[in-house]
Amino acid sequence: MSGIIGDNTGRGTGLIKATSVDVSRTLLNTATTSSSANVTIDGHFANTDYKKFIIEIDHMDPASNAVYVRTVFRGGDPVADLTASNYWHVLHGVYRTSGHGATSSGGNNAAYADLTQGFEANAANAGYGTVIIHNAQSTSIHKVVESYWPAWGDSDEWTHRYSAATYETAASTPMLGIKFYLSSGNFEDGVVFRTYGQR
């Protein structure tokens, strides 16, 4: 006897049909900059239907050279930036010019978390980012943000950056929003932030 068996109840022969897992993503929000000083995304992270949240950033183009992309979490009632000096972050990047190399940096007990090292203001070589938020609604463990940024660096070099950040003392505070901004200046027009919930 052979065939596909829809349950796993000890049949002696045949193929066992695997249980499907829904890992679909749902678009929750789209925000587009217009010479914006910051991008704030609220109102989605309280949804417990999702295991994680993913923010994709298209055409990352700052108005100034050598700027860092920074973030703060948002929470409380009313919802506001969480800016106590308890953010920890680590960055690592690899770069390629005429040769290649790597660079690392980090920080702790800061009022924000750096997600990148320097970006070049160059619309023709605008960068892209993927930000993943873990444990947004947990009240027992820290929220964690990891990110990946293929981009044109601040010294006319192609780079790929990785980062991870957490807010050390916010374990008991659900994360209700996130804000992105630059170490100086504004985002140029047309930087798109798309927020997804992933089951």
Q: Is a pLDDT exceeding 70 seen at residue 194?
A: yes
Average pLDDT (91-100) is 70
Within-domain flag for 62? yes
The CATH number that applies at residue 106 is: 2.60.120
- How many angstroms separate the CA atoms of 16 and 14, rounded? 7
What is the tally of structural domains in the chain?
Answer: 1
Q: Are 146 and 134 in contact (CB under 8 A)?
A: yes
Within-domain flag for 119? yes
Phi first, then psi: give them for residue 120, nearest 5 degrees.
-90, 135
Strands 144-152 and 100-110, by their bridges, are unpaired
pLDDT of the residue at 181: 95
- How many angstroms separate the CA atoms of 29 and 179, rounded? 14
Within-domain flag for 9? no
List Cα–Cα distances, 198 to 29, 47, 51, 101, 182, in angstroms. Answer: 13, 11, 6, 34, 27
Within-domain flag for 156? yes
Within-domain flag for 176? yes
Specify the range with the lowest mean pLDDT, choosing from 36-40, 131-135, 164-168, 183-187. Answer: 164-168
pTM of the model: 0.80
Kindly provide the residue ranges of all beta strands, DSSP E only, lying in 78-157, ordered along the sequence: 80-81, 87-96, 100-110, 113-114, 127-134, 144-152
Within-domain flag for 41? yes
> Which percentage of the chain shows pLDDT scores above 70?
75
Host domain of residue 32 = 22-198
Within-domain flag for 27? yes
